């Protein structure tokens, strides 16, 4: 999984760079068209756009991860989703689903405090790490760390004979 994650990140990084170069030349060519277009309306839309544009690349990357964690957290609150959540979003070496929970449990938090603390820490160091690695490599590290830590949890559970489900990376 880790090799695939980093390989995909390298391809994504290459394609992103290629796209940025193409966009630069297209914007230079179409710059005069901006003066002719009408301005967009909507005060709320402008505020959201300004907020998003003022975020660092790391904060934009982590915003997606936080959104995924909040979405999964909300799914835990739906009674009809409990069976699916326990099957695919908790890690347990005695479960019939072993591989997908290794990744999906990375986004799973049952306690609001636990999720908020994890997302705060992630937000606090995201800018420096993403500026060092790039957003593609950061996402590969995040996903790989989740899968590897779940694997270590599987090994520890097998060694101790405790097979209760667990959440998170």
Average pLDDT for the chain: 84
Q: Residue 33: is its pLDDT beyond 90?
A: no
The residue with greater pLDDT, 165 or 71, is 71
Residue percentage of the chain with pLDDT more than 90: 22
Residue 100 lies inside a defined structural domain of this protein: no
Q: Residue 29: is its pLDDT beyond 80?
A: no
Residue 131 lies inside a defined structural domain of this protein: no
Rounded alpha-carbon distances, angstroms, from residue 120 to 15, 81, 116, 149: 30, 26, 6, 20
Residue 8 lies inside a defined structural domain of this protein: yes
Residue 20 lies inside a defined structural domain of this protein: yes
pLDDT of residue 66: 93
Residue 27 lies inside a defined structural domain of this protein: yes
Of the listed ranges 1-15, 31-45, 154-168, the least confidently predicted one is 31-45
* End-to-end alpha carbon distance in the chain: 15
Residue percentage of the chain with pLDDT more than 70: 89
pTM: 0.76
Q: Residue 39: is its pLDDT beyond 70?
A: no
Q: Could you tell me the maximum CA-CA distance found in the chain, to the nearest angstrom?
A: 70
Residue 79 lies inside a defined structural domain of this protein: no
Can you spell out the DSSP letters for the chain?
-HHHHHHHHHHHHHHHHHHHHHHHHHHHHHHHHHTTSPPP--HHHHHHHHHHHHS-HHHHHHHHHHHHHHHHHHHHT-GGGHHHHHHHSSB-TTSS--HHHHHHGGG--SSHHHHHHHHHHHHHHHHHHHHHH-HHHHHHHHHHHHHHHHHHHHHHHHHHT----B---
Residue 157 lies inside a defined structural domain of this protein: no
Residue 25 lies inside a defined structural domain of this protein: yes
Domain that holds residue 10: 1-38
What total of structural domains would you count in the chain?
Answer: 1
pLDDT of residue 100: 86
Of the listed ranges 18-32, 82-96, 123-137, the least confidently predicted one is 18-32
pLDDT of residue 93: 81
């Amino acid at each position: 999984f880790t090799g695939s994650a980093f390989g995909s990140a390298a391809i994504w990084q290459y394609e992103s760079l290629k796209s940025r170069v193409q966009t630069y030349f297209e914007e230079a060519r179409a710059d005069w068209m901006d003066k002719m277009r009408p301005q967009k309306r909507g005060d709320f839309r402008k505020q959201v756009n300004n907020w998003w544009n003022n975020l660092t690349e790391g904060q934009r990357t982590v915003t997606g991860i936080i959104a995924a964690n909040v979405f999964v957290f909300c799914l835990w609150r739906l009674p009809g989703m409990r069976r699916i959540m326990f099957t695919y979003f908790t890690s347990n070496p005695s479960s019939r689903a072993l591989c997908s929970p290794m990744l999906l449990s990375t986004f799973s938090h049952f306690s609001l405090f636990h999720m908020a603390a994890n997302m705060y820490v992630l937000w606090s160091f995201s800018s420096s790490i993403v500026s060092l690695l790039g957003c593609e490599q950061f996402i590969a590290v995040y996903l790989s760390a989740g899968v590897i830590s779940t694997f270590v949890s599987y090994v520890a559970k097998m060694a101790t004979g405790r097979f209760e489900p667990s959440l998170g990376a």
